[in-house]
Amino acid sequence: MRVHAFEGLDLASADEVCRVLRTAGEASRDASCRRGSIDWTEAPGVLIATGDIHDNPLHLSRVIEAAGLHGDVEATPESERSHLTLHELIHGEHLMGGMDFSYRALVRVAALKAAYPEHVHVLLANHELAQIIGSGIIKDGVRVVEAFNDGVERVFGDEARRVYDAIAGFVRSMPLALRCDTPRGVIQCSHSVPSPAMMGRFDVGILDRDLTEADYQPLTGSAHMMVWGRHYDAESLEDLVERWGVTMFILGHEKVPEGARFVPPCAVVLNSDHANGVYLPIDLTEPPDPQGAPRFARRLAQPVLD
């Protein structure tokens, strides 16, 4: 039986939930892999890249297993741990009485980040950002921010405000991207990249500095533009390739019914939340080219094999 870092957490205890979220926020900001607003790693090693999770507990468990981040933390050799990206964790489709309890997925991942600060990379995504700044999102007819708030208030009652504040602190600690330096160029994982219409207002230097509150603001903030970006094209991707020195982008945010898709000239888009959801394992010593990468994606509907 697999044991994860979050086993035994009391997810109905405001004290424990806040402690885990605060510890994870500190781990995110203080990890040695953190530089500016992004995490960095380099070959050798293995990357386990994912797309949106949206509170799919089975798929979350399977990508954790694929990354070798199960069992006793101290007993797991460093060489057996992969670098795991996680993003878009909340706002799943399974509500209870119209309420969303996906704060639990966020807390579980926070515990994982606290346990493996150099190997778990929890990337900022638009749903987490929308949740902490109160932006309205309607998904499948559900006002997801409100449904999430209802779930937190149902569980924590008078302690809900303290939990909201701890969630906001963890979300603000999240890096915008993971940059992987390999012998075949740089792989950059992020939730998205800015839309072409945003590029004139986007601060391309944002990766090299700490984020400010202004970066999170709708329409004007560069972090907001990056996690909400859609409809990027070859020209805008090539612009970012030149500015950031990236060989391959691995992104989420877009709907990909088949699980993984190549977007010319250099982006791979993943979904990890639905029945055809996938993760993408990459040997950082010999990564595939972007066009060929989707064929290495592995279905999460199937158990991870040791």
pTM above 0.85, yes or no: yes
pLDDT of residue 257 exceeding 90: yes
Per-residue pLDDT at 263: 97
304 within a domain of the structure (yes/no)? no
Cα 87 from chain centroid?
Answer: 2
Residue 35 maps to a domain? yes
pLDDT of the residue at 141: 78
Q: How many domains are contained in the chain?
A: 1
Residue 8 forms part of a structural domain: no
In a domain, 7, yes or no: no
**Which carries the bigger pLDDT value, residue 139 or residue 225?**
225
Asked whether residue 22 is assigned to any structural domain, the reply reads yes
Residue 6 placed within a domain = no
Range of the domain at 222: 14-299
Residue 2 lies in a domain: no
Q: Is residue 133 part of a domain?
A: yes
In the sheet with 267-270, reading across from the earlier edge strand, the strands are 34-35, 38-42, 177-182, 185-190, 248-251, 267-270, 260-263
Q: Which residues, in sequence order, are CB contacts of 187 under 8 Å at separation 6+?
A: 47, 179, 180, 246, 247, 248, 249, 250, 282, 284, 287
Mean pLDDT of 256-284: 97
Taking CA atoms, 99 is separated from 10, 96, 182, 205, 210, in Å, by 19, 5, 43, 39, 34
The yes-or-no verdict on residue 76 having pLDDT over 90 is no
Query: What six digits make up the tokens of 48?
Result: 């386990």
Task: Kindly report the CATH number assigned to the domain that includes residue 157.
Answer: 3.60.21.10
Retrieve residue 154's tokens. 């149902």
